[in-house]
Structure 1
Amino acid sequence: MCFAGTACDLTGGQWLVQITSQGPTVAGQLVDPNTIDLDGDDLEYLLAEPDDPEDHLRTAHGHQVISVEARAARLLDLGPDAGRVFYAMQDLETLRRTGENIYGPRTS
């Protein structure tokens, strides 16, 4: 899981689609696997929360959702360059350098 997904998981975010032992669910309800895109966008959304910015919400499978990147940016109080922090293949050192390049060196 990427840094953004981990941040969302650790704060209790609820994923739109989850894969369970009984099969895939959408917002907690079992669904026919043929009705969701297991290789695409469906796995990158969380159910919307009241504090999510309206301009980042969309509707998917009849639910208001937000991208994992937009939610993590809100949770971590990151600005418009947040997407550069969330590349999935970064190790911790690369993540640190990316953060310093965007936001400046750590002060503490």
Structure 2
Amino acid sequence: MRKLRRRYVLFRLHREGPAIDVHQLSAAIRKNFLSLFGEVSVADSRLFIGMYNDDEDTGILQCNAESLDKLLASAALITAIGNTQVSFEPKRASGTLKGLQR
């Protein structure tokens, strides 16, 4: 079995309205991913929110390398989570967490 290469994406979530918790964000990204690319792609993506700071609205997403473009497309198409208007801005992608800190 081949080891999957991971990618980490540093992002900022611009919002107008109340704060969004990590569970709402995760559900919104998965829902968009599912509607765009299907159940198999969601399962293969190994999507995980490694860190999310709701005070600064920044966080780190983790997925496999083959799903990175699909993940970015899914997240960028999110316009609202609940009653909060949002905009997803990817800052940087890297193969390691240490690479994001540079």
The alignment's TM-score, normalised by the length of structure 1, stands at 0.29
The structure with the largest alpha-carbon Rg is 1
TM-score computed with the length of structure 2 as normaliser: 0.30
Larger % of strand: which?
Answer: 2
Q: Relative contact order: is structure 1 or structure 2 higher (C-alpha 8 Å, sep ≥ 6)?
A: 2
